[in-house]
A and B are shown apart, each in its own frame.
Chain A
């Protein structure tokens, strides 16, 4: 057996015989009280627990390890392969069998528990020992497969594939499966399709009351209408803007580029919050209108108009980013050809430009559609009585009327919508290439826009840009006045409440926001490198390795892109609240949620980066005797640095601004900035909320600039000024659908 396989066996034995098998409350390195009774008791190792009879069902897992170890010295590659595959597969099977059969008292799978010798027993969630053992068993299986010549016998490749599949399975498909299960199965374990149907067809979801009578429409319709409107408007704005910038002499290309960074570093609900401060009943603009023109204050903002406005402001830059690429991709020489054939400007636009734009427009629309569906913060802040799926799921889980079944049903509907949009995007647009610029002597000049079109576009753009500027002004100054709209006395009170530091007795972070701020930074900083690692590894496997089931893995990864944050959050809380994985309320679940929520970003920037690197470089390295890990480390990774940086930055920023997935997962001990701000908004403390938001935005802008400065300088050279916008905004065009 190869040295790597021996190392795996060692890891397996450490996990099985030395480390605590279960997750123990109060685990830590400072206070070792939780270790009481080791190697038996709560923090016992599997070997000790199994041999002492406390947990006999753990014994077979160890036997699988032992069998593999017995053949450690075997020189016969074929036999070693068979043993490893058998031991790994059987060991994992036994591991999962005991993990799912024996959970809490009177749950799990009783007959299987009895078979494993644990009838009526209960066990807690798996811990470090369990995890290491599972990992080792998986790697044994992968090594066995490699010995048999799978993936050209490369241990690293087969192991990576195994790990990626296990992780996606455990942290994406298992939770989604739990949602489906809890929608169909009642809390007492009975299969209840009738109850599912009743919940599914409920009038609160599909009702058409707003059309036929004067009641509210169902949430599904609300969500759909909002998403379609949001998609249409953001697309039109984005298109107008892209055409104006590229096809007229309009100045401000740089400024527009910079503006597109803003929505990335702005937590999604902050726009809604600023809108309240402007147009709410007591907002600054409402007050002006009332005092000067006698326009009565109203609550028009709370409902569809407000949510739509906030979403359009938040997501239009994404559409712009997509469409500017599409417009740039249309070869000017095509339009020049049309003109030399006698077509007028308008005819050219209608017959050449527009048809080439169409697929890109459809793509931008779908992005806006999906973003709106998945948005949680704005509907929560501005929705009022206007409920959408994401907020309704939230209230079904955390509200007074706790209803797990309903939350699951709603989550399934939302998931179906986003998967549907995603499917349409892949099927319909996936194969089409819009780029007509080939790079070979395309020296033509783009045709100027017909005058009608440019007037129309300007009319749409100016108010949008103006409103965006006003919004950000409000966000920045909102924290420095006593009460935006009512009392404009300058004050530092909000910042003092949130960020006060007491120096009288050493440094003491007194402000109420510090705790959540530090947690957020810590969690984001831990999850960003993990996201980048898993994402790039997956991208590498998908683009550079051929193995059976690659298509399936690709499909599974793609599917995970389409899961809205709210659905993932609900799925996590349902799946990881009970053994075998019991991690709700810990910081770990936040990290895992961020890693798998942001994984698409890593995968996409990895795929984009890898497609720039010629495959012959890998092959050259291989023919020079480098193994695939060496190739990855010495050739691919250095060349992938820009993609790596953008994956890191973007997943860090996304973790800082995420709301939907984590609002279910935060706890008193591990609160996050966004959840804290949402809490302040709900409590009516707008000043503190806006102050905290602007602090977050500035922190991220500063952080991005710093990373760009540190990492990107040498590579980007003279283009440093635009580097900030380009490298950070890259993944959004690829990753916006996630």
Chain B
């Protein structure tokens, strides 16, 4: 078998319709070969449909899909060099771990011995040596997940797809498995498309993230870019927490804007916005609480304060509405009703267009 190596995936104006419902609406993106790209979004945003279109489990209603530069739009899943790890793992319950892993080469018609060797190699890779003869029902959730990964890897596909692979694992295990997936992807130089609705997971594993909302792409970029430069209110709110506040841009000069947030005036990167109404996304950790008020701060009053171990969650009542503030480090609890001044950190406050 010739090893095809990782391939890029390209969507050109792809749409998917079921009757009157549009699940994916005119989507364009490229996944570079050897990169891990996450499709991130709330449930029903079209991310899983997009993934299934890469796999060939859904045939796009419109547009073109290319894998490795080759048009595969009309090819069925069995004809594409793509494997998938399912949310439910979809391990065949009547087959042993080895038979599951060897399924791909077996149905491809490779010899029994060769199929077994290929399966054993990948099972060892995911750390399941010695489990070959067990049945899926005899494995833990994490082990089942590894079998699913091994099974998908055996044919060394050009593209590997993950559909919410961690959703059936407990919180502690999730962190470990996602690191393993990332290591595997980098070690084997795989092209991976990864669907999740967990933004933290997406930030942790991805080279790039495609945020989807209402069947469309809301923003695409590197994790850091998305967090620090959200293109719109949806992305700001979906990735990390954000206070979204309506503001007025007073003036723009030299790429910086003078912005009135309530009675406070601050200077922010203009991001191509002109004077007029706009919004800012303020990360909770970018709000600083102090006793003394200044021109760049807002007067407020503590309404709630919750202790969460390494940080405090504080709600502050101000003239622009209730603001959510996170304070890290050991601090004393704040009394509800106490007056405070809220000022803004250098980073973590981003100007975004009005909705």
A153 within 8 A of B: yes
Complex CA gap A623/B159 in Å reads 11
Instruction: Please tell me if A90 contacts chain B, counting CB pairs below 8 Å.
Output: no
Which chain A residues border B108 with CB–CB below 8 Å? 625
Q: Give the residues from 90 to 126 in chain B that come closer than 8 angstroms, CB to CB, to chain A.
A: 90-94, 103-104, 107-108
Q: Which of A622, A624, A639 has the largest number of chain B CB atoms within 10 A? A: A624
Chain A positions 612-627 with a Cβ under 8 Å from a chain B Cβ: 614, 616-617, 619-627
Is A619 a contact partner of B94 (Cβ separation < 8 A)? no
CA distance A625 to B83 in the complex (A): 9
> Does A149 sit at the interface, judged by CB under 8 A?
yes
Question: Is B212 in the interface zone, CB < 8 Å from A?
Answer: no
Q: State whether B94 touches A625 (Cβ < 8 A).
A: no
Distance in angstroms from A644 CB to nearest chain B CB is: 13
Stretch with Cβ within 8 A of B (4 or more), from A246-254, A296-304, A630-638: A630-638
With contact pairs A619-B57, A620-B84, A634-B107 given, residues A625 and B90 touching in the complex (Cβ less than 8 Å):
no
Among B82, B90, B155, the residue within 8 A (CB) of A616 is: B90
Q: How far is the CA of A535 from the CA of B94 in the complex (A)?
A: 23
Interface string of B1-25 (1 = CB under 8 A from A): 0000000000000000000000000
Q: Does B185 contact A (CB under 8 A)?
A: no
Question: Closest CB of chain A to B153's CB: distance in Å?
Answer: 11
Contacts of B94 in A (CB 8 A): 638-639
Using known A-B contacts A626-B78, A638-B94, determine if residue A621 contacts B103 with beta carbons closer than 8 Å.
yes
Which of the residues B88, B91, B93, B107 comes within 8 Å of A626, measured between beta carbons?
B107
How many residue pairs at the A-B interface have CB separations less than 8 Å? 71
One digit per residue, 1 when the CB lies within 8 angstroms of any chain A CB and 0 when it does not, for chain B 145-165 equals: 000000110010000010000
Interface contact A623-B55, CB-CB below 8 Å: yes
Closest residue of chain B to A715 (Cβ to Cβ) is B94
B82 touches which of A614, A623, A638 (Cβ 8 Å): A623
Between B55, B56, B90, B152, the greatest number of chain A beta carbons within 10 A of the residue's beta carbon is seen for B90
Chain A neighbourhood of B151, CB < 8 A = 620, 624
The digit string for A590-626, where 1 denotes a CB below 8 A from any CB of B, is 0000000000000000000000001011011111111
Contact, CB under 8 Å: B86 / A619: yes
- CB-CB under 8 A from A510, the residues of chain B are none
Docked pose: A634 CA to B82 CA in angstroms: 20
The answer for the CA separation of A325 and B346 in the assembled complex, in Å, is 66
Set of chain A residues within 8 Å of B92, measured between Cβ atoms: 617, 620-621, 635, 639
Residue A154 lies at the interface, judged by CB distance under 8 Å to chain B: yes
CA distance A621 to B106 in the complex (A): 11
Map CB proximity to B onto A132-151 as digits: 1 under 8 Å, 0 otherwise. 00000000000000000100
Q: How distant is the Cα of A376 from the Cα of B343 in the complex, in angstroms? A: 89
The answer to whether B107 and A152 have CB atoms under 8 Å apart is: no
Would you call B76 and A154 a contact (CB within 8 A)?
A: yes
User: Is B87 in the interface zone, CB < 8 Å from A?
Assistant: yes
In this complex, what residue of A is CB-closest to B57?
Answer: A619
B74 on the A face (CB < 8 A): yes
A378 and B207 CA atoms in complex are apart in Å by 75
| A614 CB → nearest B CB, Å | 6
B contacts with A, residue count (CB < 8 A): 28
* Pairwise interchain contact A625-B107, C-beta atoms closer than 8 A: yes
Task: Let me know if A625 and B78 touch, CB within 8 A.
Answer: yes
A630 near B107: Cβ-Cβ < 8 Å: yes
In the assembled complex, the CB of B81 is this many whole angstroms from the nearest CB of chain A, namely: 8
Assess whether B93 is in contact with A639, with CB atoms less than 8 Å apart: yes
Query: In the bound complex, what is the Cα–Cα distance between A370 and B90 (angstroms)?
Result: 41
**A153, A616, A623, A630 — most chain B CB neighbours (10 Å):** A623
In angstroms, Cα B93 to Cα A638, docked, is 10
Q: Kindly list chain A residues whose C-beta atoms are within 8 Å of the C-beta of B57.
A: 619, 622-623
Report yes or no: A624 in contact with B107, Cβ–Cβ below 8 A: yes
Cross-chain contact of B83 among A616, A617, A623, A627 (Cβ < 8 A):
A623
- The reply on B218 being an interface residue by CB < 8 A is no
Contact A624 B87 (CB under 8 A): no
List the B residue with the shortest CB-CB distance to A635: B92
B77 within 8 A of A: yes
In the complex, whether B59 has a CB less than 8 A from a CB of chain A is yes
CA gap between A586 and B93 in the complex, in Å:
45
**Which residues of the partner chain B approach A621 to less than 8 Å between Cβ atoms?**
92, 103, 107
Given contacts A152-B59, A639-B93, A639-B94, contact A616 B88 (CB under 8 A): yes
Secondary structure of the A contact surface, majority rule:
helix
Q: Is the CB of B104 within 8 A of A624?
A: yes
**B90 A619 Cβ-Cβ under 8 A:** yes
Tell me, in angstroms, the Cα distance from A622 to B74 when the chains sit together. Answer: 15
Q: Are A624 and B90 in contact (CB under 8 A)?
A: no
- Contact residues in A for B90 (Cβ distance below 8 Å): 614, 616-617, 619-620
Name the A residues within 8 Å of B83 (CB-CB): 623-624
Closest residue of A by beta carbon distance from B74: A149
**Chain B's nearest CB lies how many Å from the CB of A714?**
11
Q: Which residue of B lies closest to A149 (CB)?
A: B74
Q: How far is the CA of A152 from the CA of B60 in the complex (A)?
A: 11
The docked-state distance in angstroms from the alpha carbon of A614 to that of B136 is 15
**Neighbouring A residues of B91 by C-beta, 8 Å:** 620
Chain A residues within an 8 Å CB radius of B93 = 639
Partner of A620, one of B76, B82, B86: B86
Contact A616 B78 (CB under 8 A): no
Which of B55, B74, B152 is close to A153, meaning CB atoms less than 8 Å apart?
B74
Question: Would B155 and A624 count as touching, CB distance under 8 A?
Answer: yes
Contacts of A635 in B (CB 8 A): 92
Query: What residues on A are CB-neighbors of B152 within 8 Å?
Result: 623-624
Partner of A152 from the list B76, B86, B103, B104 (CB cut-off 8 Å) is B76
**A164-190 at interface with B (beta carbon < 8 Å):** none
A622 to B107, CA, bound (A): 10
Mask, B60-80, CB within 8 Å of A = 1, is 000000000000001011110
Q: Which residues of B contact A625 (CB under 8 A)?
A: 78-79, 104, 107-108, 155
Q: Which residues of A contact B77 (CB under 8 A)?
A: 152, 619, 622-623
Which B residues touch A153, using CB under 8 A?
A: 74, 76
Shortest C-beta distance, A434 to chain B (Å), equals 27
Of chain B, the residue at the smallest CB distance from A615 is: B90
Q: Please, which residues of chain B bring their CB within 8 A of the CB of A152?
A: 56, 59, 76-77
Within 8 Å CB of B107, what residues of A?
621, 624-626, 630, 634
A614 in contact with B88 (CB, 8 Å): yes
Q: Whole-angstrom distance between the alpha carbons of A149 and B59 in the complex?
A: 10
- Which residues of chain A from 540 to 576 have a CB within 8 Å of any chain B CB? none
Q: Which of chain A's residues have a CB closer than 8 A to the CB of B76?
A: 152-154, 622
The answer to whether residues A622 and B86 also contact, given A617-B92, A630-B107, A635-B92 and a CB cut-off of 8 A, is no
Q: How far, in whole Å, are A293 and B157 apart by their CA atoms in the complex?
A: 88
CA distance A440 to B57 in the complex (A): 31
CA A605 to CA B88, docked complex, whole Å: 25
Min distance, Cβ A578 to any Cβ of chain B, angstroms: 44
Determine how close the nearest CB of chain A comes to the CB of B62; give it in whole angstroms. Answer: 15
Interface centre among A153, A154, A616, A638 (most CB of B within 10 A): A616
Closest to B52 in A: A619
- Which of A616, A617, A625, A635 lies at the interface centre, i.e. has the most chain B CB atoms within 10 A of its CB? A625
Contact indicator A616/B104 (Cβ below 8 Å): no
Task: Tell me which residues across on chain B come within 8 A of A620, comparing CB atoms.
Answer: 84, 86, 90-92, 151
With A and B bound together, what is the CA distance between A436 and B315 in angstroms?
42
Q: How distant is the Cα of A626 from the Cα of B79 in the complex, in angstroms? A: 9
Taking a contact as CB atoms under 8 Å apart, the answer to whether B103 and A616 are in contact is no
Task: Please give the distance in Å from B337's CB to the nearest CB on chain A.
Answer: 41
- Name 25 A/B residue pairs within 8 A (Cβ), A-sorted: A152-B56, A616-B86, A617-B90, A619-B57, A619-B84, A619-B90, A620-B90, A620-B91, A621-B103, A622-B76, A622-B78, A623-B55, A623-B56, A623-B78, A623-B83, A623-B152, A623-B161, A624-B152, A625-B79, A625-B104, A626-B107, A627-B78, A630-B107, A634-B107, A639-B94
Taking A152-B77, A623-B56, A626-B107 as known contacts, 20 extra A-B pairs with beta carbons closer than 8 A to each other, sorted by chain A number, are A152-B56, A152-B59, A152-B76, A153-B74, A154-B76, A619-B55, A620-B84, A621-B92, A622-B78, A623-B57, A623-B84, A623-B152, A624-B152, A625-B78, A626-B78, A626-B103, A627-B78, A635-B92, A638-B94, A639-B94
Give the 7 A-B CB pairs with smallest separation, nearest first: A620-B90, A624-B104, A616-B90, A152-B76, A626-B107, A622-B77, A623-B84
